[in-house]
Amino acid sequence: MAKYKMHVLICGGTGCKSSNSSDIVENFQKILAEKNLQDEVQVIKTGCFGFCEKGPIVKIMPDNTFYTQVKPEDVRNIVEEHIIKGRKVPGLLYVNPENKEHVSDSKHMGFYKKQLRIALRNCGFINPENIEEYIARDGYQALASVLEQNDPEATIELIKKSGLRGRGGAGFPTGMKWSLCRPNKADQKYMICNADEGDPGAFMDRSILEGDPHSIIEAMAIGGFCIDATKGLVYIRAEYPLAIHRLQVAIEQAREYGLLGKDIMGSGFDFDIELRYGAGAFVCGEETALIHSMEGKRGEPTFKPPFPAVEGYLGKPSNVNNVETLANIPVIINKGWEWFSSIGTEKSKGTKVFALAGQINNVGLIEVPMGTTLREVIYEIGGGIKGGKKFKAVQTGGPSGGCLTEKFLDTPIDYENLVAAGSMMGSGGMIVMDETSCMVSVAKFYLDFTVEESCGKCSPCRIGNKRLCEILDKITKGNGTMQDLDELKNLAKVIKDTALCGLGQTSPNPVLSTIDNFWDEYVAHVVDKKCPAGQCKALKQYVIDPEKCKGCTACARNCPVNAIHGTVKNPHEIDQSACIKCGTCYEKCKFNAISIK
Amino acid sequence: MDKIIVKMKKEVREKVVEICNSFNNQPGELINVLHKTQDFLGYLPAEVQELIAECLHIPTAKVYGVVSFYAFFTMTPKGKYPVSVCLGTACYVRGAEKILDAFKKELNLEVGQTSEDGLFSLNCLRCVGACGLAPVAMVGDKVYGRLTPADVKGIVDEYRNLEANA
């Protein structure tokens, strides 16, 4: 990178690409060429910077200027002012919401201050489609040292000591997983990367694959060497075309450089990677289901044991690791297990990436050391609740997790604490909700998802979740009884105890955690027939304010069920027993006389 | 059991056979075969599944079992402008349901349906990965972010005008 005086880094992640970052890249190239600067300023399309809320992001190096919400038409201004004259463009700088001052260096922004980026170390720094940029940032050095040392057991031991645990959700120690697979002899073994990110609202795996694909390739080769596998398989969602493309490019380049293929770096170790495509099934994140899907079958889980380490893909010993887990491996080897295990809490080491979303000011992808509290994440990094509203709950762990209330805000985040609080780490979705979210509807939203995604193999999940969903539906429609609430709790516990796989066993979590933490809200739906958040359509009441009503008859004429009575120029009234809550009167009233209660 | 009489164009038949051959007619490649076929045809009708089963020497029920299992595979053709509304959690808490309702009303379609003129189809999807722009909808490959129900008509009209001027 030395020959250029300046670098323009432009986010090419999915979020920024959706807001025209490709046009920004094009404009930079065009305008720089026009000014004859193309040999002095390099334009690089990077992976995700994480600060998706303020995208598209453009960063100018070496002065670290961080421009937010850049539009294609702003490019000329940046080139003429900043690149040529050296004056920052104030209108595009980040504004600190507290003191309204411009912040130009991302290091001083609240969003980045508390973060520690290990898995995301290269995202937003390098061009993911250029292997040399990865190598320049110590890429493939870990693989080289592992192969040179030629002692797989020692490498496994190092990973064990680092305390790295699976980032896909369950938190199984990664070194242990490798050591269970290594002794199983077979003519072919497989190192599998689980890139089937199915949790709606979590996109860390995708961002790593899009922003730093070589780290996954390197880690898979290291894993393959340790467990004695010569074939690597990445099971990736077909819905991630950009990640697939970048991974393919990276694999090709690694082959060209002799970092994949036969006799890697002259060590005698052969390893190559192929891609397998998922087709949209949440349950395929479960490793046995994933393996069945790779074999071309329905992605149904099977009972463990036998574990994949003994009988996996095509009946051969296989090891499955999540993308984020793998992204940590090369750094641990380069910097040592002591360094890694010094970060985090007693039982959860290192960092965790979260996709911070929902009713929060700074939506984006963040990485924090284990042990950071939810309050730090939501208020310091996330910038607090959108529109100054009141915090109500934070949902972690996706459809398998739970909703946590204010009393858990000071809980340090790690695997054990989140489970103890009634949620789980999961893959790292973190959805913040404000007072306008109805928790019964949220539970129903997740159950709808689980019902749709249940593979149907075991009846607790297939039938039980369907029943749970029906009861929740009944409650949100105002037809629930207290008996339904008991039923809900009992059934949820039965499903938790009896379902076959992780998906089924955790699927009632959203229901149980909302019952625990928001019991009053359930009771309000059932007894008072009211939705405190005003979200449940059937529980809304449309009321005409007689002071404001002019008696224009527009509402009565448009009501599809003739539920509105009154005479011309006199205040009208809604017959609540006949009202179907369609909202037509509310839309038609020109005098704002109709309100929702 | 009697076989379904295969009603499809010769070139479709040839292409599907070619796809199966390219994967050596291996039953283990079924999902890849289905991906390629759907890329080419846009959907996977019953007669195509029958043909794939024949090529890979597996029962049609098995092919159908896989097609119906995965959300990505569809047996109904999508519209020329497929509309997908994201119902991921991030979009849901920012009001994705209202966006979906607005599309339903504007297009006069239910989820999973395709308009009679074949122009629009309406579907839901789970997370585009653009949670910063929530709520989000896609038309084809184009992403529309930070939507309000009032934006919906404009988006649909954009494509209607495109069609009218074509």
A359 contacts B145? CB cut-off 8 A: no
State the pLDDT at residue B81. Answer: 94
Give the rounded distance of the alpha carbon of B24 from its chain centre: 26
Of residues A19, A431, A452, nearest to B133 (C-beta): A19
Q: pLDDT tens for residues A490-537?
A: 999 999 999 999 899 999 999 999 999 999 999 999 999 999 988 888
Alpha-carbon gap: A452 to the closest alpha carbon of chain B (Å): 9
| B78-100 as b/e: b if 16+ CB within 10 A | bbbbbbbbbbbbbbbbbebbebb
Q: Pairing between strand B142-144 and B137-139?
A: antiparallel
Query: Would you identify the CATH topology of the domain A131-339?
Result: Rossmann fold (3.40.50)
User: Is A6-108 in CATH node 3.40.30.10?
Assistant: yes
Residues of B with CB under 8 A from a CB of A: 26-32, 34-35, 65-66, 69-73, 87-90, 92-94, 125-134, 136, 143, 145
Tell me the pLDDT band of B7, cut-offs 50, 70 and 90.
low
Q: pLDDT tens for residues A132-178?
A: 999 999 999 999 999 999 999 999 999 999 999 999 888 999 999 99
Q: Is the pLDDT of residue B166 over 80?
A: no
Q: Which residues of A touch B39 (CB under 8 A)?
A: none
Q: Residues A442, A535: contact at Cβ < 8 Å?
A: no
User: Is A439-526 in CATH node 1.20.1440.230?
Assistant: yes
Q: Which two tokens stand for residue B98?
A: 């209202």
Cα angle, residue A310 at apex, residues A197 and A151 outer, rounded to 5°: 90
Q: Which two tokens stand for residue B1?
A: 């059991």
Of residues A52, A54, A276, nearest to B131 (C-beta): A52
Predicted TM-score (pTM) of this structure: 0.90
Q: Return d(Cα A176, Cα A172) in angstroms, integer.
A: 8
Top pLDDT among A314 and B9 is at: A314
SS3 (DSSP) at B37: helix
Alpha-carbon gap: B129 to the closest alpha carbon of chain A (Å): 6
Of residues A280, A357, A433, nearest to B134 (C-beta): A357
Of residues B29, B126, B127, nearest to A296 (C-beta): B29
Q: Is the pLDDT of residue B145 over 70?
A: yes
Of residues A15, A201, A293, nearest to B31 (C-beta): A293
The residues, any chain, with a CB within 8 Å of residue A153's CB and separated by 6 or more, are A182
Three-state SS string over A227-291 comes to HCCCEEEEEEECCCHHHHHHHHHHHHHHHHCCCCECCHHHCCCCEEEEEEEECCCHHHHCHHHHH
Beta bridge partners, A43, equal A8
Domain ranges for chain A? 6-108, 131-339, 351-434, 439-526, 540-596
Of residues B31, B73, B92, nearest to A296 (C-beta): B31
A202 contacts B132? CB cut-off 8 A: no
CATH code given to domain A540-596 = 3.30.70.20
A52 contacts B130? CB cut-off 8 A: yes
Alpha-carbon gap: B8 to the closest alpha carbon of chain A (Å): 25
Q: Which two tokens stand for residue A262?
A: 């036969």
φ/ψ of residue A22, rounded to 5? -65, -35
Find the closest chain B residue to A55 by CA distance.
B132
| A294-307 as b/e: b if 16+ CB within 10 A | bbbbbbbbeeeeeb
Find the closest chain B residue to A438 by CA distance.
B93
Per-residue CA distances from A125 to A12, A51, A120, A326 (Å): 11, 14, 10, 19
Alpha-carbon gap: A521 to the closest alpha carbon of chain B (Å): 17
Q: Which two tokens stand for residue A254?
A: 């690694």
Find the closest chain A residue to B90 by CA distance.
A358
A238 contacts B130? CB cut-off 8 A: no
Q: What mean pLDDT is reported for chain A?
A: 93
ipTM of the complex: 0.87
Q: Return d(Cα A226, Cα A240) in angstroms, integer.
A: 29
State the pLDDT at residue A479. Answer: 93
Residues of chain A with pLDDT under 50: 1
* Number of other CB atoms surrounding residue A311 within 10 Å: 19
State the pLDDT at residue A403. Answer: 93
Alpha-carbon gap: B67 to the closest alpha carbon of chain A (Å): 9
Q: Is the pLDDT of residue B107 over 50?
A: yes
A14 contacts B128? CB cut-off 8 A: yes
Q: Which two tokens stand for residue A526?
A: 């059932």
Q: Return d(Cα A425, Cα A415) in angstroms, integer.
A: 6
Q: Return d(Cα B148, Cα A83) in angstroms, integer.
A: 37
Query: Would you identify the CATH topology of the domain A351-434?
Result: Ubiquitin-like (UB roll) (3.10.20)
Amino acid sitting at position A471: I
| A393-407 as b/e: b if 16+ CB within 10 A | bbbbbbbbbbbbbee
- Give DSSP secondary structure letters for A414-460: SHHHHHHTT---TT-EEEEEETT--HHHHHHHHHHHHHHH--SSSHI
State the pLDDT at residue B1. Answer: 42
Helix (H) or strand (E) holding A154: helix A152-162
What domains appear along chain B, each with residue ranges and CATH number? 10-69 (no CATH), 81-164 (3.40.30.10)
Q: Which residues of B touch A203 (CB under 8 A)?
A: 127, 129, 131
